[in-house]
């Protein structure tokens, strides 16, 4: 299979991203246990369960993104079209605030600067 170098580079970067997402999920899960235990010690069992569960949700999201990254890595190495599309679209799903900022800058920044608010 003759794979372009750019696809190989993207696959390796996607693999690194997936590994770090999985490690991040484990790290967040550790904090869920620590803060859940502290919440239970100082605020009661219900407070500890709520805190631990809330932080655990973020760990689950990180695990899901990590497994998705590893699946996309496999697809890129196999030259699957869905993996290419998923790799190009996933950064926007991971950082929606940055994407919205870019859209705002493209649409409204020229109007803002031309309206006189930023003129010297």
Please give the chain's pLDDT, 120 residues, in tens: 688 888 889 899 899 989 999 999 898 888 888 888 888 888 888 888 888 888 888 889 989 989 999 999 999 999 888 888 888 775 545 444 444 445 545 554 454 444 444 444
CA separation for the pair 65, 55 (Å, rounded): 16
Place of tokens 């940055």: 98
Residue in the block written with tokens 């190495």:
77
Distance CA 54, CA 101 (A): 27
| Structure letter (DSSP) for residue 78 | T
pTM exceeding 0.85: no
Cα distance between residue 63 and residue 77, in whole Å: 21
Quickly tell me which residue has 């490690």 as its tokens: 23
């Amino acid at each position: 299979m003759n794979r372009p170098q750019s696809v190989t580079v993207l696959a390796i970067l996607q693999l690194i991203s997936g590994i770090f997402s999985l490690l991040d999920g484990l790290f967040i899960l550790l904090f869920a246990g620590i803060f859940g235990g502290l919440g239970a010690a100082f605020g009661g069992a219900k407070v500890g369960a709520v805190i631990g569960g809330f932080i655990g949700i973020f760990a689950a999201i990180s695990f899901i993104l990590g497994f998705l990254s590893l699946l996309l890595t496999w697809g890129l190495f196999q030259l699957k079209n869905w993996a290419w599309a998923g790799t190009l679209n996933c950064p926007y799903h991971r950082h929606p605030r940055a994407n919205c900022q870019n859209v705002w800058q493209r649409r409204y920044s020229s109007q803002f600067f031309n309206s006189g608010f930023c003129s010297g």
